[in-house]
Each structure stands twice: as structure tokens, then as C-alpha cells.
Structure 1
Amino acid sequence: MIDLALFLFIAAVLLLGLRRPFVWVLAYIYIDTLAPQDIGWRFVAALPVSLIAFCAAFAGWLLADPKHGARFGSRQWLLTILLVWCAITTANADFPVEAAHKWDWVWKALVFAIFLPLTLTTRLRIEAAVLTMVLTAGAIIINGGIKTAAGGGGYGVLYLFVNNNTGMYESSTISTVAIAIIPLILWAMKHGTVFPPDWRVKTFGYALILACLLMPIGTEARTGLLCIAVLGVLMLRDVKRRFVYVGAAVALGVVALPFLPQSWYARMSTLESHEEDTSASTRVAVWEWTIDYANSHPMGGGFDAYRGNEFTYKVPVRTGDGNTSSVKFEDHTDRARAYHSAIFEMLGEQGWPGLGLWLLIHGLGLWHMERIRRRWRSRAAPGQRWQAPLAVALQFAQAIYLVGSLFQGIAYQPFILTLVGVQCALWSWCRNADSERRVRPGRAARRPAARDAVTAGAAPLR
């Protein structure tokens, strides 16, 4: 039944796109995030649904979508340069077969991130993309939150739709994404127009936020705990009563502590010292190897260059029990260990040029969202109150991802690249709106911006 339901839903969405081609863009975001082809086992699994939606999204935009308001921004050019650079390093990769396998999905994620802003030319389209991202990731998160609340969590054992520890279903990745989308949920609860804010929307929103906070507990991912701390610090900037906020956060944490499983405490305790944690010790050794490799191969080794690493590091071995236990360190040689960090993933695979491009893309994203916040936060006219809060939500989501990515290899995570595409779209929309205000100040003051589909009454999804 699940397989049939997924197939019928995808088929219905694709058919709806015949009337509203932009729906195919949303369909690809849904498929790329949820991976229904991995959930199903007959109809959906047998069809290349991701490729079909990918091609349909581009064809619909080229053939039937209005191009008014579409512009190619600076970060889209940087993403294009990164795409070309990845193609060059793939052609000269240390491990051609493995590199080609990773290239098969990385190029689609980069191309879609470059293409997406060209389609998000109205407020409604931007909001629809954000909602699709939140609700699709929310489906995975709600599933994990319910199982965690029922006592089914644990490191490496939380089953999320599929028994697959890759992509969005990897424990640290879904924990990072879960915390990153909380600002977007809060924005939709207050400024949404697809689902106008009322008690039902707010109830669902707060329940989804609770499920997001449960994900780091259910997965026992240490990165998730760091992301929660980052979110708490970031939100201090905009709250009106900071002391009340801090007090409430501390009180909530104290109340929640007795309900956390003992295995979660044991897992989190390894944050104190990496020397006593085998996983952390391995990561440090891999990072040191990657720096040495990049110094001797400054242009990078292509995708999966880590397969060539070999290093010796100290492994903690605990002997005895209770008060008589002791820890001694033994040498251990390891090979082909993954980077476990987006920074070192980019450095090892794309070299110093690739890492520089990646940091510039994300750095500009944080700065662009900050500029939108400063320019639009004081505007109170109808149709001008949602831009600054959305910029803040996207900025916070990106900052949380960047912190989480320090400890996992998610430099090319499609969900985050889609978020980058939404940032580019919002930046272009605001620049277009400001340009119209300067060119036609009188007319702009008398009516909403032409591309604000909600207030202008345009046909935004066509």
C-alpha cells in the first residue's frame, strides 16, 4: 500500500504540472529530499522518478514558464564555476570509478541549485519552495520523533522510512537538517500565506519543532547537540526579552534531562575529550592527513580521494572495571577513512581552489541575508514584512548547517544546496523590488510590487 500510495502521489503531482509547470520544480525537491524510490519496492523503485522530475522541471521552465524577473546572480556564477571545477577534478581523479559514482549525483545537486532561483520569481513560489523543503524533511523527522518518543531511538538503530544510513537518512545529517529548519518553521507559522497562520498551523508548527528537537536525541548524534546550542545562541539576537529566553531555555533543558536515555548521556560524554573516543581520534588523524595531501596536491584528488589515505593514530583501550579501570593508548593503522568534515572533504577532493569557492559561496550567503535583514526590517507596508524574517531564517539555517558540516562530509548535500538556491532567489527578488522602487517610486508606493504574487493577484505557479 505504501508503494502504491507513493506512486499515485508522484503521478498526480507530475500530472498537475501539465497545468502548472512550476509544480515540477517542487516535485523534484520532494523526491530529492524524501527519496521515495528507496522507500518503495515495486512501482516507485522501478522508475527513475528523480530523473523524470529533474528533466520535467527544466523542460517546464524552458517551454512554458514566464521568465520575467529571472536573473543570474553572483552566487549562481560561483556555483557554476564550482560545477566546472568538480568536473575537471573528476576527470583527473585518483579513483576514477568511485569519483564518477559520486559525480552522478553531485552534478545534479549543483545544477538544480543554479537553476532553482530562475524559477522562484514571486513570493508565493519562494514560500512554496520553503514549505516543500520543510514538510518533506518534516515527514522524515516526524517519523523519527514519534519513534524516539516511544523509546525507539539509539545511535545507528533509529529506523527512518528506510534502513539506509546515507543522504538525508544518515543520523548526523538528519539531526543537522532538523535543527536547521526550525527557523524556517517559525517563519512559516508567522508569515505564511499558503497556509495562513491560525491555531491549526501553529499547533502543527510547534509539534514539528518538538519532533526536530527530538531527532538529536533519537539518533544520539553529537552534532545535533551542537546545532541546538548554535540555534539557541543565534536566536538571542532577535528575541525581545533575552533574560526570559535564557531562563526558559535552561529550565526546559533541566526538565528534559531526567527523560533522556542513559545511552544518550554516554554518547554525549565523548564530546569532552577526543582522545578517549575512537571515532573522534580517527577524524583528527584523517584531517591531518588531508592537510598534508592538499599541500602536495593543491588542486585536489577528485571525489573520494580519501580512499588513498593511510595513517597511524592512538586508540584508547580501557582495561579493568569500576575504580580500578585504566586507559592506555595503542597504535592503530587505518586506511581509506572518510573525511567526516565538509571543510576537509572539499579540501581533499577539490583542493584549495574548491575549498575557497565553497567558503565564498556560503560566506556570501550569510552576508546577503544580513543585508536583506538590515534593508527590509524597518519596512511596514503591506507585502514588505516577510522578506527580512525569511532572510534571518535562511541565514540561521545556513549557519547551523555550517557548524554541523564541520563534523560530517556533507559539502554537497542536495537539501542544503537547495536552500542556497532559495537564498539566491530571495536576494534577486529583493534587488528587483528595490530597483522598481527607485525607477517608479510613485507607482511603487501606490501598489504592491508586481512580483509579489500574493498581493498582486498574478498567476504565480503557471
Structure 2
Amino acid sequence: MTDLALLGFIVALLLLGLRRPFVWVLAYIYIDTLAPQDIGWRFVSAIPVSLIAFCAAFGGWLLADSKHGARFGLRQALLTVLLAWCFVTTMNADFPVEAAHKWDWVWKALVFAIFLPLTLTTRLRIEAAILTMVLTAGAIVIDGGIKTATGGGGYGVLHLFVQNNTGMYESSTIATVAIAIIPLILWAMKHGTVFPPDWRVKWFAYALIFACLLIPIGTEARTGLLCIAVLAVLMLRDVKRRFLYVFGAAALGLLALPFVPSSWYARMSTLENTDADTSASTRVAVWEWTIDYANNHPMGGGFDAYRGNKFTYKVPVRTTHGEGNTSVRYEDHTDQARAYHSAVFEMLGEQGWPGLGLWLWIHLLGLWQMERIRRRWKGRSRVDQQWQAPLAVALQFAQAIYLVGSLFQGIAYQPFVLTLIGVQCALWTWCRLAESPPQRKRHRPAARTPSAGEAVTAGATPLR
């Protein structure tokens, strides 16, 4: 039944696109985020729905969609350079087979991020893309929130729509995304036009935000706790009553503590005492190896270059003696082929210093562009000019939360985040066009035919 429902919904979106080709763009965002082909087990999994939607989105825009307002910006150019660089490193990868497998989905994510701003040329389209991202990710979040609230959470055991721990369904990734979309939910609740704000929209938005906050608890992902802290600090900038906000947030946190499972406390305690956490020691060792590797291979080793690492690090071994006495000794432990567990070191190891520079430039430029939109559009009085600055803030906060979360997980090419970058590019282009003076066509004065007297006076015959 689930298989038929997913297939029917996808077919309905594709049919709607015959009348409005932009719907195919939304269909690809939905499929790329939710991965229904992994949820279904028969019909949907047997059909290349992602490839069909990908081709439909591009073909519909090229053949039938309006190109008015479409512009190719600087960040799209940087993404194009990064795409070309990834292709070069893939052709010279240390592990060609594994690199080719990762390239199969990375290039699509980069190409779609470059293409998306060309289609988001109106406010309605920008809002539709954001709603599709939020509601699709929200479907995963709601599933996880319900399971967490009913006691089904736990590290590595909170299974969502699928039984694997990859992509959007990886614990730390969904925890990061869940917190990152909260600013977008708040923006849509206040400034949305597709679903005009009323009590139903507000109650759904608050319930979805609550589910988002439950995801870091249900997954027991330490990154999620850091992302919540980042969001809380960022929102201090624009909140009107800061003291009341801090007091309310602290009270809400204290009220939630009795309902948090003890396993969550045990896992979060490793943030304070990293020496007791083997995974933390492993990550530091991998990062040190990556820096040495990049110094010897400044152009990078291609996708999955981490498979060549091998290192030895110290592991604390605690021995409990009588009456609670504990002794600690450190033993050497050798490990190899350990993943980067950081987007920064993922880019450094795979794409070298040039790739890391491009990646940082793309993200830092996005933060700056959103800040510039906020300052230029903040406080405008016209009704149709009051949504741009809050949206820039929401996109900026979402990106900042991702950047903090990405420090501890290898999600440098996460398709959902690349789509978010595409929306940022679209908003930047839209605002620049809205602020630019209208182009006035210059009309040349029509040539006046001289009268007979003027022609004779000029020394010319009127018949010439």
C-alpha cells in the first residue's frame, strides 16, 4: 500500500508538470530529499524516479518555462568551478571505483544547485521551493518525533522511513537538518502566501518545531545538541525581549530534562570528557592524518581518499579496583580507512586546498549576501517588501547551523544543503533585480523629411 501511495503521488506531480513545468523542479526536490525509492520495496524502487524528475526539471525549463528574471550569479559560477574540479580529482582519484560511485550522486547535487536559481524567479516560486524542502524534511522529522515521544529513540536504533543510516536518514545529518529548518518554518508561518497564516498553520508550525527539537534527543546525536545551542544564540540577535527569551528558553530546557532518557545524558556527557570517547580520539587522529595528506597531496586524492589512511592513537583503558578506585592507562590502537567525520576535512582530503577554498568561499559568500539583504531590506514599510529580510535571516541561520554541524560529520556535498544554497542564490538575484533601476528603451527620433524650401536652401534638389 505504501508503495502504491508513493508511486501515485510521484505520478501526480509529473502529470501536474505537464501544465506547469516548474512543478517538476519541486518534484525533484521532494524525491531527492525523501528518497521514496528507498522507502518503497517494489514499484518505486524499480523505477528510476530520481533520474526521471531530474531530466523533467531541466527539460521543462528549457522547453516550456519562462526565462524572465533568470540570471547566472557569482556563487553559481563558483559551484560550476567546484563541479569541474571534482571531476578532475575523480579522474585522478586514489580509489577510482569508490570515487566513481560517489561522483554518481555528487554531480547531480551540484548541477541542480547551479540550475535551481534559474527557475526561482518569483516570490511564489521561492516560497514553493522552501515549502517543499521544509515539508519533505518535515515528514522524516515527524516520523522521528512520534517515535521519540513514544519511547522509540536511541543512538543507532531510531529507524525512520528506511532501515539504512545514510543520506538524510543518518542520525547526525537529520538532527542537523531538523534544527536548520526551524528558522524556515518560522518564516513560512509568518510570511507565507501559499498557506496564509492562520491558527491552523501556526499550530502545525509549532508542532513541527517541537518534532524538530525531539530529533536530537531521539537520535542521541551530539551534533544536534550543538545545533540547538547555535540556533538559540543566533535568535538572540533579532528577538525583541532578550531577557524574556533567555528566561523562557532556560525554563523550557529545565522542564524537558525529566523526560529525557538516561542514555541521552550518558552520550551527551562525552562532549565534556572527550578522552573517554573513542570516536573523538579517532576523529582527531583522522583530521591530523588528513592535514599531513593534504600537505603532501595539495590537489586532493579524489572522493573517498580516506580509505588510504592508517594511524595509531592512544586509547584510555580504565580499570576499577576495590572501593571505587579507578586507574587509567593508555594503549596504542591502530586503525585504518576511517571516514573524515567533518565536511572541512572531507573537502581537504578529497579536493585538496583548492577545493576547500572554493567550498569555504561559497558558504562565506552566502552568509555575507544574506546579511546584506537583511540590512538593505530591513524596516521597509511597503507590504510587498517585508518578507525579503526575514527570509534572508532564515536562510542565513539555516546555513550557519549546517556549517557548525558539518564540522563533525562528512556532509560537504549534502544535496539538501546544496538546494538551500540554490535558494539563497535565487533570493540574492531577485533582490538585486528588484533594486536595479528599470531599463528604459531609448527611442531614436524619426528622420524628418526636409521640405522643398529647406532642400533648395541646402543646395539640394527636392527630387534627390
TM-score with structure 1 length normalisation? 0.94
Identify the residue that residue 459 of structure 1 maps to in structure 2: none
Return the offset for 1:318: 2.4
Identify the residue that residue 326 of structure 2 maps to in structure 1: 325
Residues in 2 aligned to 1:438 and 1:333: alpha-carbon distance in whole angstroms: 66
Matched, 1:36 2:1: no
Identify the residue that residue 243 of structure 2 maps to in structure 1: 243
Query: Aligned AA for 1:351?
Result: G
Unaligned runs of 5+ in 2: 442-464
Return the offset for 1:317: 1.9
Residues in 1 aligned to 2:156 and 2:168: alpha-carbon distance in whole angstroms: 14
Identify the residue that residue 427 of structure 1 maps to in structure 2: 428
Residues in 2 aligned to 1:317 and 1:220: alpha-carbon distance in whole angstroms: 24
Deviations along 1:168-227, one digit per CA (max 9) or x if unpaired, are 000000000000000000000000000000000000000000000000000000000000
Residues in 2 aligned to 1:303 and 1:341: alpha-carbon distance in whole angstroms: 14
Count of aligned pairs: 440
Identify the residue that residue 23 of structure 2 maps to in structure 1: 23
Query: Aligned AA for 1:426?
Result: L
Residues in 1 aligned to 2:158 and 2:378: alpha-carbon distance in whole angstroms: 41
Deviations along 1:336-378, one digit per CA (max 9) or x if unpaired, are 0000000000000000000000000000000000000000012
Deviations along 1:211-264, one digit per CA (max 9) or x if unpaired, are 000000000000000000000000000000000000001111111111100000
Matched, 1:234 2:239: no
Residues in 2 aligned to 1:59 and 1:380: alpha-carbon distance in whole angstroms: 40
Return the offset for 1:77: 0.1
Matched, 1:74 2:58: no
Identify the residue that residue 8 of structure 1 maps to in structure 2: 8
Return the offset for 1:306: 0.2
Residues in 1 aligned to 2:40 and 2:437: alpha-carbon distance in whole angstroms: 48
Residues in 2 aligned to 1:439 and 1:305: alpha-carbon distance in whole angstroms: 54
Return the offset for 1:274: 1.9
Secondary structure of the equivalent of 1:246? helix
Return the offset for 1:382: 2.2
Residues 32-431 of structure 1 aligned to structure 2 (within 5 Å)? 32-320=32-320, 323-431=324-432
Return the offset for 1:78: 0.1
Identify the residue that residue 453 of structure 2 maps to in structure 1: none
Greater Cα offset, 92-101 or 325-334: 325-334
Deviations along 1:40-82, one digit per CA (max 9) or x if unpaired, are 0111000000000000000000000000000000000000000
Residues in 2 aligned to 1:198 and 1:245: alpha-carbon distance in whole angstroms: 24
Residues in 1 aligned to 2:132 and 2:437: alpha-carbon distance in whole angstroms: 29
Residues in 1 aligned to 2:261 and 2:308: alpha-carbon distance in whole angstroms: 39
Return the offset for 1:328: 2.2
Unaligned runs of 5+ in 1: 441-462
Moved >4 Å (runs of 4+) = 437-440
Identify the residue that residue 448 of structure 2 maps to in structure 1: none
Return the offset for 1:314: 1.0
Query: Aligned AA for 1:430?
Result: C
Secondary structure of the equivalent of 1:383? helix
Greater Cα offset, 315-324 or 388-397: 315-324
Identify the residue that residue 443 of structure 1 maps to in structure 2: none
Going from structure 1 to structure 2, the CA distance change for 1:332 and 1:104 (only over 3 Å counts) comes to same
Return the offset for 1:110: 0.1
Query: Aligned AA for 2:57?
Result: A
TM-score with structure 2 length normalisation? 0.94
Going from structure 1 to structure 2, the CA distance change for 1:230 and 1:76 (only over 3 Å counts) comes to same
Residues in 2 aligned to 1:354 and 1:436: alpha-carbon distance in whole angstroms: 37
Aligned residues: percent identity?
84
Deviations along 1:286-314, one digit per CA (max 9) or x if unpaired, are 00000000000000000000000000011
Return the offset for 1:323: 1.9
Higher Cα Rg, which structure: 2
Residues in 1 aligned to 2:363 and 2:11: alpha-carbon distance in whole angstroms: 35
Residues in 1 aligned to 2:327 and 2:255: alpha-carbon distance in whole angstroms: 34
Identify the residue that residue 454 of structure 1 maps to in structure 2: none
Secondary structure of the equivalent of 1:319? strand
Residues in 2 aligned to 1:356 and 1:206: alpha-carbon distance in whole angstroms: 38
Residues in 1 aligned to 2:261 and 2:327: alpha-carbon distance in whole angstroms: 26
Residues in 1 aligned to 2:433 and 2:221: alpha-carbon distance in whole angstroms: 41
Return the offset for 1:380: 1.5
Return the offset for 1:109: 0.2
Residues in 2 aligned to 1:145 and 1:328: alpha-carbon distance in whole angstroms: 41
Query: Aligned AA for 2:138?
Result: G
Residues in 2 aligned to 1:437 and 1:423: alpha-carbon distance in whole angstroms: 23
Residues in 2 aligned to 1:195 and 1:439: alpha-carbon distance in whole angstroms: 37
Secondary structure of the equivalent of 1:57? helix
Residues in 1 aligned to 2:366 and 2:439: alpha-carbon distance in whole angstroms: 24
